[in-house]
Amino acid sequence: RESERERARARESARKSERERASESARARESARERESERARERARARERASARERERESARERKRARERERARERERERERERERALEGERAREREG
């Protein structure tokens, strides 16, 4: 009778430690999933930062191109004014001559 109780206690204890192992490995899987999703979020944030930097660089390049176009137009207007002045001078000389 005593040994029957002993065996029952042993079985109960085995079941208990089995449950504990199962819940331990469930916790381990859960925290591994959490770490993985945190890493995924971090990768997403890094991609977002990189594409923001790329957009910033692109808009800086665009601003630079716009400034260069504006300078080129200004130089063209200046040349046009030069031509106008030269023609004006020739016409004046023709009138005087």
Residue-wise pLDDT tens digits, 8-53: 999 999 999 999 999 999 999 999 999 999 999 999 999 999 999 9
- Overall domain count for the chain: 1
pLDDT in tens, 48-95: 999 999 999 999 999 999 999 999 999 999 999 999 999 999 999 999
- Angstrom CA distances, 82 to 5, 13, 61, 70, 91, stand at 115, 103, 31, 18, 14
Give residue 79's domain range.
1-97
pLDDT band at 2 (very low <50, low <70, confident <90, very high): confident
